[in-house]
């Protein structure tokens, strides 16, 4: 039925009979169609309606059978009632003509104490008469499509005698503008209508102020980017310069050797680090353009000497250092490779007093580790890295700085634990109490860069450098309440979460 026809049919039915129950007046028309027609009429105030949801109960084939012939147990009782001598099981099956009815029926009849078994093994009735409640229930459901006792109905459903389904119907009343014809409605007031005066008698379609605007899906910042931009803001307001982190590939020299990670260190194993297969090797370290006059060769030799023999007060690792190993290309395992490069460049600068000026550097970018991937680890993550170079810095100064830095993220009451990094001494892991987890969690790694690392770059002895690093993922997951890293990165990410995740204020809970 086209919707227009149905709407007119409804008006005519309502004219004879108001209020009108749709399930009674239009039993064969699907309720979404009825609703469509009603909404059209209701928007013109021609009808009003309420929706009525109800469950309708319907007999299963076995239920139908019971309604017609009685329950299995009643049929067994009935067959035995007329047999004065009692019946054997075979005779009973013959009398009823359905083995299944006998099998289920005799069991139930026993439980009801309607029948008993004599010593000769025959079944006999144990009562004069019975009341077949199940049959009555089936008949009630058959005629009313419902059952007054919901618990009993659920029980009958479990016994597979009855099923229920949802029926939506509408109780329809005449509206203020009820009529038998649907008036034409105008959506626009036209010049013609004004000229002819027809606007006076026209019916205008009402505005639907409840209509929602269409969803717009412009690009959205990834939650990691939102946290990243907050952290950048913190660094900038504390006077940091951003380091260039656009090269994911580094040489072993900058990623490891300048940081005094010995060439046998497990971190340099293929199991932990991704090596580039083509090309395999970097050129000798050099500047990016001709304006860079730094003496990379001297630096290279200094690094080699510290590893091999020791220098600048260090006894070295005392192994034959390999230039080839140092030139191997790797996906950077930490952004400290860039910090080393930046500090080397700082050593070449001259401030007003002819010495390298104090500097504050930071970066937030991707690093790679050959890890087995699980709920909390990916083979790549983002590292937040900071470096402060100044004269006569102390470890106490580092701790004070951390209080201020993490305080700006709303993280307070820091705890420190001695740790080891080949490039810092002392080194400290930074912990904070996590209220949700009820324990201290590691939030970062830090330390004072080693003298032999800084002096081999040419930095003055009294220039000290703090460094620290943390992952960007950890605070992001805590902020957004995510426990599985794969909800944040990779192919399982829910795009709606990306679109709808709120902006972050790190200092606000």
Query: Mask of contacts with ligand PHE, 399-438, x by CB under 6 A?
Result: ----------------------x--x--------------
What's the min distance (Å) between Cβ of 273 and ligand PHE?
A: 12
What is the size of the binding site for ligand PHE (CB under 6 A)? 11
Give the long-range contacts of residues 396-401, CB within 8 A, separation 24 or more: 397/466, 398/428, 398/446, 398/448, 398/466, 398/468, 399/428, 401/466
What's the min distance (Å) between Cβ of 296 and ligand PHE?
A: 22
- Cβ distance to ligand PHE smaller for residue 137 or 424: 424
What's the min distance (Å) between Cβ of 303 and ligand PHE?
A: 17
What's the min distance (Å) between Cβ of 266 and ligand PHE?
A: 14
Residue 169 near ligand PHE by CB under 6 A: no
- Cβ distance to ligand PHE smaller for residue 125 or 448: 448
Q: Are strands 380-391 and 115-117 parallel, antiparallel or unpaired?
A: unpaired
Distance CA(400)–CA(272), nearest Å, equals 33
What's the min distance (Å) between Cβ of 466 and ligand PHE?
A: 8
What's the min distance (Å) between Cβ of 402 and ligand PHE?
A: 12
- Cβ distance to ligand PHE smaller for residue 70 or 386: 386
What's the min distance (Å) between Cβ of 445 and ligand PHE?
A: 4
By CB under 6 A, which span of 229-237, 314-322, 444-452, 487-495 interacts with ligand PHE? Answer: 444-452
Residue 475 near ligand PHE by CB under 6 A: no
Position of tokens 């717009």?
216
Distance CA(456)–CA(305), nearest Å, equals 9
Question: Could you give the C-alpha distances from 336 to 77, 237, 379, 458, in angstroms and in order?
Answer: 90, 22, 18, 18
Residue 447 near ligand PHE by CB under 6 A: yes
Question: Could you give the C-alpha distances from 159 to 62, 113, 148, 153, in angstroms and in order?
Answer: 10, 21, 17, 10
- Cβ distance to ligand PHE smaller for residue 256 or 468: 468
What's the min distance (Å) between Cβ of 221 and ligand PHE?
A: 25
CB neighbours of residue 211 within 10 Å: 7
Residue 469 near ligand PHE by CB under 6 A: yes
- Cβ distance to ligand PHE smaller for residue 41 or 340: 340
Residue 445 near ligand PHE by CB under 6 A: yes
What angle in degrees, to the nearest 10, is found between the helix axes of 223-237 and 473-480?
120
Q: What residues between 327 and 356 interact with ligand PHE by CB under 6 A?
A: 334, 336
- Cβ distance to ligand PHE smaller for residue 226 or 334: 334
Which token pair is 501?
């995740």
Task: Write the CB contacts of 66 (distance below 8 Å, at least 6 apart in sequence).
Answer: 72, 134, 135, 138, 161
Distance CA(255)–CA(265), nearest Å, equals 13
DSSP string, 419-438: EEETTEEEEEEEEEEETTTT
- Cβ distance to ligand PHE smaller for residue 20 or 409: 409
- The number of CA neighbours under 13 Å toward the Cβ of 302 is 20
Sites of contact with ligand PHE (CB under 6 A): 334, 336, 385, 421, 424, 445-447, 467-469
């Amino acid at each position: 039925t086209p919707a227009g026809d149905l709407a007119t049919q409804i008006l005519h039915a309502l004219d004879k009979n108001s209020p009108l129950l749709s399930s009674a007046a239009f039993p064969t028309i699907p309720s979404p169609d009825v609703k469509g027609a009603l909404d059209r009429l209701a928007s013109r105030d021609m009808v009003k309606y309420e929706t009525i949801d109800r469950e309708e109960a319907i007999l299963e084939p076995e239920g139908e059978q019971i309604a017609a012939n009685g329950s299995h147990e009643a049929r067994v009782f009935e067959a035995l009632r007329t047999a004065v001598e009692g019946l054997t099981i075979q005779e009973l099956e013959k009398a009823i003509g359905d083995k299944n009815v006998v099998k289920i029926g005799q069991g139930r009849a026993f439980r009801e104490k309607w029948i008993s078994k004599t010593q000769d093994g025959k079944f006999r009735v144990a009562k004069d008469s019975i009341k077949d409640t199940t049959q009555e229930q089936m008949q009630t459901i058959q005629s009313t499509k419902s059952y007054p006792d919901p618990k009993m109905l659920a029980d009958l459903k479990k016994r597979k005698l009855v099923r229920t389904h949802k029926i939506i119907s509408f109780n329809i009343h005449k509206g203020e503008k009820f009529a038998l014809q649907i008036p034409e409605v105008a959506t626009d007031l036209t010049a013609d209508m004004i000229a002819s005066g027809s606007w006076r008698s026209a019916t205008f379609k009402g505005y639907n102020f409840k209509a929602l605007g269409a969803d717009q899906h412009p690009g959205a910042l990834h939650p990691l980017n939102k946290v990243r931009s907050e952290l950048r803001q913190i660094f900038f307001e504390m006077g940091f310069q951003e380091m260039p982190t656009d090269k994911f590939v580094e040489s072993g020299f900058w990623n490891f050797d300048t940081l005094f990670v010995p060439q046998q260190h497990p971190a340099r194993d293929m199991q932990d680090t991704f090596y580039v297969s083509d090309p395999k090797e970097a050129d000798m370290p050099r500047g990016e353009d001709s304006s860079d006059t730094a003496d990379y060769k001297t630096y290279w030799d200094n690094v080699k000497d510290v590893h091999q023999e020791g220098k600048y007060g260090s006894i070295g690792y005392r192994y034959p250092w390999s230039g080839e190993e140092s030139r191997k290309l790797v996906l950077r395992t930490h952004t400290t490779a860039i910090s080393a490069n930046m500090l080397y460049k700082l050593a070449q600068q001259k401030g007003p007093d002819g010495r390298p000026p104090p500097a504050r550097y930071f970066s937030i970018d991707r690093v790679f580790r050959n890890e087995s991937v699980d709920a909390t680890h990916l083979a790549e993550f983002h590292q937040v890295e900071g470096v402060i170079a100044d004269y006569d810095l102390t470890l106490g100064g580092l701790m004070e700085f951390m209080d201020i830095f993490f305080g700006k993220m709303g993280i307070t009451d820091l705890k420190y634990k001695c740790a080891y990094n080949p490039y810092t001494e002392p080194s400290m892991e930074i912990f904070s109490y996590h209220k949700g987890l009820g324990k201290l969690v590691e939030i970062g790694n830090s330390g004072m860069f080693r003298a032999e690392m800084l002096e081999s770059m040419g930095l003055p002895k009294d220039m000290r450098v703090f460094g620290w690093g943390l992952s960007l993922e950890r605070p992001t997951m805590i902020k957004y309440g995510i426990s599985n890293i794969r909800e944040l990165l990779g192919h399982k990410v829910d795009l709606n979460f990306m679109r709808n995740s709120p902006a972050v204020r790190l200092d606000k809970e």
